[in-house]
Amino acid sequence: MTQDGNRESGIGSRESRVGTRSSPADVVIVGAGATGGWAAKRLAEAGLHVVVLDAGRPFGPEDFREHVPAYSLPLRGRTKAVIARTQPQQAAGYPLTEWNADWFVNDIDEPYTTPPGQPFPWVGRMRIVGGRTHVWGRQSYRYSDIDFRSASRDGFGIDWPLSYTDLAPYYDLVERYVGITGINEGIPQLPDQQLQPPMGFSCVEAHVRETLRTSMGRTVTQGRTANLTESINGRPKCHMCGPCERGCATFSYFNAAYTTVMDAEKTGRCRLVTQAMAAQVLMDPQSRRATGIRYVDRRTRTHREVHGRVVMLAAQAFESVRLLLNSASAQDPAGLANSSGVLGKYLLSHFTGFGAAAEFPAFHRRADANGPRKPTGLFVARFRNLEAGKPDARFPRGYGYQGGGSTEFAQGLEGFGADYVAAVKVSGRTSVSLGGFGEPVPDARNQVTIDPNAIDAWGIPAVKIDMRFSDTDRAMMRDGAEQAAEMLEAAGGTNTRITWAPRWASHEVGIARMGADPATSVLNQFQQAHDVKNLFVVDGASMPSVGYVNPTLTMMALVVRSCDYLLDSLKKGNV
Ligand SMILES: Cc1cc2nc3c(=O)[nH]c(=O)nc-3n(C[C@H](O)[C@H](O)[C@H](O)COP(=O)(O)OP(=O)(O)OC[C@H]3O[C@@H](n4cnc5c(N)ncnc54)[C@H](O)[C@@H]3O)c2cc1C
Ligand code: SF4
């Protein structure tokens, strides 16, 4: 793969000149993760010349670490204390481990701030081509019109400027390429998908699924996950080794670095510039058009510019909005594309950390340290507030659960020596856990701004994240924890424990939202800035609500739809 800050794909060819001042690219894309990868693939395969800037380093075979044993690591994989000296925020999140710490930002070099007493976990900040798709949980579901019309249903926020019918063909296209395993259930709050065969259930999972269907009418299904159960595009099926967040030498889960980004590069029309920290969108004040991006080469700290006919931001919601806010000028004092004043506002993410776990003695069995490790478990579909116009008085929207069954060694047994070892071997404890993901409603106070007192190591002003739980969020989490316990007990669980550690998931959206009205939104339905026709924001920042399921599949479907719109508009000379 040719991914080097100064080297260019197609050296000596026309592509090597793409994006210089004398020869602007067709499109400059910022970010080579879930959304930027798709933009690069779709546009380059359609014949456009694209330049992709990514702040991260190149990705290579040395990054496949799923089979690296803990004993070969300096800290034996047992502590993050040393790592936390330079990566305190990232190390506090579960995705960072000793195996993959070098994929994440150094928090000292790249700070963000929060108001006193109001921490926000901006974890999963990646500095490697592929972005968060290296460590994502891969859970992939469609939104439905219940999500796209949530504002009309309950009065909070704004409706999406598009419907399920508009997005369905793009979901189909993305799913067929990504490869998602699961089961279609035929219920409106969980639309059917283009799925590969399921990975299946463990015995206890199958039991919980069936019992809750008959006793409580709840839909418990396999977590739909972007791990292959059938080979596609030369990517073999998953061999269930388990730790996907350390990489995958067989490319068996979806990671932009070895799928969309590679496809884009193969066209010879995509130039990937790594270690390129985008700092500002360049504008022509006369025409009010974006002309390119100013970026800092992270290794040399030199400032460079890359020019294009169109600019697409796909750097993850906080980073794209940071760029727009840092592009403020005399013409756009409140930030670029911010005539509505809502840029940075209405930050949304799922709240999580609530649920329950219980033991299922009927399924206790011998634990197995070497058995297959299925990289997905159970998903429980939303069951609250599905009927329009009749929201629960406690909270207007809904939540789902992700979890699964597992059998662990009973290391807490009494005794010692050979008897203890023998007892531990045969006394595996089987339990099921359900962790909730809830949908908050948009609130203008939840926002991201530029902190005038914080800059990163490259001199770029950093963001301040101001996010709080509301009373309705807490009410939903309480209900979700109680319902999880009730369901597990209804299925025969014992020794039930409520889990309660509220936090936000890494699903940040909403801060440059799409809408039909330019007075209350930043982008139109094609993620095109109302204020600047050749500027697009194609990551989660564009989503006016976050639904109750994981958002990345929807982000990817949206960006492909926007690319098709852009291609059509370029043909018609409308952009
Ligand atoms: C631990 C974890 C688990 C998750 N699990 C799930 C899940 O199960 N299902 C789901 O749907 N979603 C999940 N997500 C969320 C998902 O990963 C993101 O929604 C998705 O990757 C966002 O895509 P993106 O293109 O916006 O950003 P990314 O995929 O993060 O890509 C952004 C890219 O932009 C680059 N970049 C950033 N700033 C700049 C800059 N200034 N200049 C140049 N380049 C820049 C970065 O280096 C990166 O490569 C998870 C996230 C985390 C952290
Ligand atoms: S569990 Fe499957 S997808 Fe994950 S790293 Fe192992 S083989 Fe790859």
* Distance in angstroms (rounded) separating the CA atoms of residues 249 and 176: 21
Closest CA to 96 of 71, 122, 129: 122
Q: Give yes or no for residue 550 CB within 6 A of ligand 1.
A: yes
In three-state form (DSSP H/G/I as H, E/B as E, the rest C), the secondary structure along 461-490 is EEEEEECCCCHHHHHHHHHHHHHHHHHHHH
- CB distance 68 to ligand 2 below 6 Å: no
Residue nearest atom 19 in ligand 1 by C-alpha distance: 552
**Dist. CA 400–CA 39, nearest whole Å:** 30
Q: What is the pLDDT of residues 521-547, one digit of tens each?
A: 999 999 999 999 999 999 999 999 999
Provide the residue type at 563 as one letter: C
Locate the ligand 2 atom nearest the alpha carbon of residue 66 and give its number: 5
Residue 41 in contact with ligand 1 by CB distance below 6 A:
no
Query: Of the candidates 199, 207, 164, 202, which has an alpha carbon nearest to the alpha carbon of residue 183?
Result: 199
Buried b (16+ CB within 10 A) or exposed e, 154-175: bebbbbbbbebeebeebbebbb
Q: Return the closest-CA partner of residue 53 out of 278, 261, 299, 256.
A: 278
| Widest CA span in the chain | 82
Task: Check if 14 has its Cβ closer than 6 Å to any atom of ligand 2.
Answer: no
Nearest CA to ligand 2 atom 8: 248
Ligand at minimal distance from the CA of 237 is: 2
The least confident of 207-211, 283-287, 416-420 is: 416-420
Residue with tokens 């270690």: 275
Confidence (pTM): 0.95
Q: 538 and 313 in contact (C-beta within 8 Å)? A: yes
Q: For tokens 């949206």, what's the residue?
A: 558
Those residues whose C-beta lies under 8 Å from the C-beta of residue 148, and which sit 6 or more positions away, are 159, 160, 162, 163, 164
Q: Residue 391 — very low, low, confident or very high, per pLDDT cuts 50/70/90?
A: confident
Is the pLDDT score of 392 beyond 90?
A: no
Summarize pLDDT for 113-168 with one digit per residue, the tens: 999 999 999 999 999 999 999 999 999 999 999 999 999 999 999 999 999 999 99
Determine the distance separating the centroid of ligand 1 and the alpha carbon of 540, expressed in angstroms: 9
Mean predicted lDDT score pLDDT of the chain: 94
pLDDT at position 267 = 98
pLDDT in tens, 200-242: 999 999 999 999 999 999 999 999 999 999 999 999 999 999 9
Distance (Å) from CA 65 to ligand 2 centroid: 11
- Could you report the per-residue pLDDT of 421-468, keeping only the tens digit for each? 888 888 899 999 999 999 999 999 999 999 999 999 999 999 999 999
First to last CA, the chain: 32
The answer to whether the CB of 64 is under 6 A from ligand 2 is no
Q: Which atom of ligand 1 is nearest to the CA of 36?
A: 25
Atom of ligand 1 nearest to the CA of 279: 41
